[in-house]
Structure 1
Amino acid sequence: MKPNLTTTLVEHLRERISSGAIAPGDKLPSENTLIADHGVSRTVVREAITRLQAEGLVHTRRGAGSFALTPPAEDASTQARVPRTLAERRQLIEFRMGIESEAAARAASRSASANLTDMDSALAAFRAAGPNAAQAMSCDYEFHLAVSRASANPYFVQAVELFGPAMIAMPRQRFEIPDGKLAPRLERVAEEHEAIRAAIASGNQLSASAAMRLHLANSLHRLDLESGIPEGN
Structure 2
Amino acid sequence: MTTRTQQLVDTLTAHIQEGVIRPGERLPTESSLIETHGVSRTVVREAIARLKAAGLIETQHGRGSFVLARPSTTGFDPAPRSRQDVLDLLDLRMGIEVEAAGLAADRRTEPALAALGEALDGFARAAGHPSAAVNADFRFHLRIALATGNRYYGDLIASFGPAMIIMPRERLRPARPDFDTIVAEHANIHAAIERRDREAARAAVRVHLSNSRARLLNG
Q: TM-score range by the shorter chain?
A: 0.5 to 0.7
After superposition, the Cα gap between the structure-2 partners of 1:100 and 1:176, relative to the gap in structure 1 and judged at 3 Å, is: closer
Residue 220 (structure 1) aligned with residue 213 (structure 2)? yes
Taking structure 1 as the reference length, the TM-score comes to: 0.60
SS in 2 for 1:83: coil
Residue 129 of structure 1 deviates from its aligned partner by 1.1
Aligned twin of 1:101: 98
How many pairs does the alignment contain?
Answer: 149
Q: 2:116 aligns with which of 115, 119, 137?
A: 119
Aligned twin of 2:74: 77
Q: 2:180 aligns with which of 162, 184, 187?
A: 187
Amino acid in structure 1 at the alignment position of 2:168: P
Aligned twin of 1:44: none
C-alpha separation in 2, matches of 1:219 and 1:194: 15
C-alpha separation in 2, matches of 1:199 and 1:153: 19
- The CA RMSD measured in Å over matched residues stands at 1.9
C-alpha separation in 2, matches of 1:78 and 1:125: 33
Residue 192 of structure 1 deviates from its aligned partner by 0.5
C-alpha separation in 1, matches of 2:116 and 2:172: 24
Runs of 4+ in structure 1 over 6 Å off: none
- Contact 2:172 2:179 (8 Å CA) reproduced: no
What is the correspondence of 1:36-75 to structure 2 with a 5 Å cutoff? none
CA distances 1:178-232 after superposition (whole Å, capped 9, x unpaired): xxxx522111111001100111111111111111111100000111111xxxxxx
Residue 151 of structure 1 deviates from its aligned partner by 0.5
CA distances 1:149-197 after superposition (whole Å, capped 9, x unpaired): 00011111111001100111111536543xxxx5221111110011001
Q: 2:200 aligns with which of 201, 207, 224?
A: 207
Q: What percent of counterpart residues are identical?
A: 36
5+ residue gaps in structure 2? 1-70
- Contact 1:107 1:150 (8 Å CA) reproduced: yes
Amino acid in structure 2 at the alignment position of 1:130: A
Q: 1:152 aligns with which of 119, 144, 149?
A: 149
Amino acid in structure 2 at the alignment position of 1:215: H
CA distances 1:13-54 after superposition (whole Å, capped 9, x unpaired): xxxxxxxxxxxxxxxxxxxxxxxxxxxxxxxxxxxxxxxxxx
What is the correspondence of 1:3-42 to structure 2 with a 5 Å cutoff? none
Taking structure 2 as the reference length, the TM-score comes to: 0.64
C-alpha separation in 1, matches of 2:173 and 2:110: 36
